[in-house]
A and B are shown apart, each in its own frame.
Chain A
Amino acid sequence: MAIANESHQEEKNMHAHHGAGRYWLIWGVLLVLTVVTVVTGRMHLPSFGLLLALVIATVKGTLVTLYFMHLAEHRGANRIVFGVSIVFVVLMLIIPLADFGTRFRGANPPGSQYSDLQPPDIGTGAQRGRFGGGLRPHQTKDTPETPEPGHH
């Protein structure tokens, strides 16, 4: 039976005992990658900063799933479940982003990068009237009114 074979193989792999050294090694690599991502992140690289950070995060995530979560030793079904969930995450990201990226400008939220309309005043600043739902209205008495550009 295929299922029983798969279980047997997985059990064998999980029992093929290796030393704890592997976990320490993965931990070291994860720490190094964390330092790399912080250092490159602080440089505020203009265009590929986000891409680089996501690539590093993906490498770290892969190490965690393969070795800490033992996916490397697991068989078919577990891998399919995990792989399918990742495929759906990617689909879920691509489809809405493709929608926003190809919209008629007027259909994007006012105030956004892809819109010509002014943002609506939703009363965020302390000077703007609603005090964030009543938080700290007393502060405005001391501070002079600072007019927002384009809002009077």
Chain B
Amino acid sequence: MQSSAHTADGTANVPRLAEHFASLEVQNHAARLGMWLFLATEILLFAGLFVCYGCYRFLFPEAWAAGSRSLDLTMGTVNTIVLITSSLTAALAVHYAKEGKNKMVGVMFALTLVMAVGFLVIKYFEYAHKFHIGTLPGRYYFYEGMQMPGITLYFTVYFCSTALHALHVIIGMTVLAVAMVRAFKKKDFGPNNYTMVELGSMYWHLVDLVWIFLFPMLYLV
């Protein structure tokens, strides 16, 4: 099925084929399909928060405008660039995994993890500032610079969506860290065995995808 040019990698590193699959490619296909199903549920999870955002923005447009202008656009933009770049390195890890370059897979995932930590650190500074001035959700809001109906709802949506996103960043980091350790230690990724790298990287792209929508929604408009 696979080209014989890869036998050095290919024969040694073929993953175990479960009995109920006709062949390895069917097994890989099933793994991908399962991942897409899982990502679909993740998209719908975030969509619930997008609906809250849409409805309350519709009802309280002034609060939404004031709230988004009170955020630090520079930090948000830097975070967007950091996350997009980390997505690039995650995609490159899949590229190198297919070529069997395990060291590069590990390096790419390490870079991704460094950027993920950077993202969380910037997010921490943004959160700390909000806790300091009091732009907090619901009844915990105590910022006097902005007092208008619906402003607390903006920060409820802000904190719910960014915190859920940050949780996904942490989960994604765990998955990528496991793949990174395997690439460095077991060194068994190759043209026939890169499902783990591919699916882990897909999860990371989902985290990026959600942020691509959250960033303009929260910071820009």
Contacts and interface: CB of A to CB of B under 8 A. Distances in A.
A24 interface: yes
A136 to B, nearest CB: 6
Given A89-B44, A100-B55, A112-B150, A82 B39 contact: yes
Contact of A109 (B59, B85, B191, B205): B59
Interface stretch (B117-125, B159-167, B174-182, B213-221): B213-221
B141 A132 contact: yes
Q: Interface residue tally of chain A, by bracket? A: 35 or more
Contact of B142 (A14, A67, A132): A132
A68 B39 CA distance: 14
B213 A57 contact: yes
B209 interface: yes
B73 interface: yes
A27 B88 contact: yes
B37 interface: yes
Contact of A7 (B29, B55, B88, B147): B29
B54 A96 contact: yes
Contacts of A4: 22-23, 26
Q: Most A CB atoms within 10 A — which of B40, B98, B206, B208?
A: B40
Contacts of B208: 64, 68
Interface in A93-140: 93, 96-97, 100-101, 108-114, 119, 122-127, 130-133, 135-136
A50 interface: yes
Interface string B54-70: 11001111100100000
Secondary structure at the B interface, as helix, strand, loop or mixed, is helix
Contact of A127 (B62, B144, B206, B220): B144
Nearest to A37: B216
Interface in B30-61: 32-33, 36-37, 39-41, 43-44, 47-48, 50-51, 54-55, 58-61
Given A108-B59, A112-B59, A89 B43 contact: yes
Contacts of B105: none
A72 interface: no
B98 to A, nearest CB: 6
Interface in B63-111: 65, 73, 77, 80-81, 84-85, 87-88, 90-92, 94-95, 98-99
Q: Most A CB atoms within 10 A — which of B28, B198, B215?
A: B215
6 contacts: A10-B32, A11-B28, A41-B216, A68-B87, A70-B198, A124-B141
Given A23-B91, A53-B217, A101-B58, 14 more contacts: A3-B29, A7-B25, A7-B26, A27-B87, A37-B216, A38-B73, A42-B73, A64-B205, A68-B90, A81-B40, A88-B44, A113-B58, A131-B142, A133-B140
Interface of A: 3-4, 6-8, 10-11, 14-15, 17, 20, 23-24, 26-27, 30-31, 34, 37-38, 41-42, 44, 49-50, 53-54, 56-57, 60-61, 64-65, 67-70, 74, 77-78, 81-82, 84-86, 88-89, 92-93, 96-97, 100-101, 108-114, 119, 122-127, 130-133, 135-136, 146, 148
List the 4 closest pairs (A to B, CB-CB), nearest first: A111-B149, A41-B220, A85-B40, A7-B29
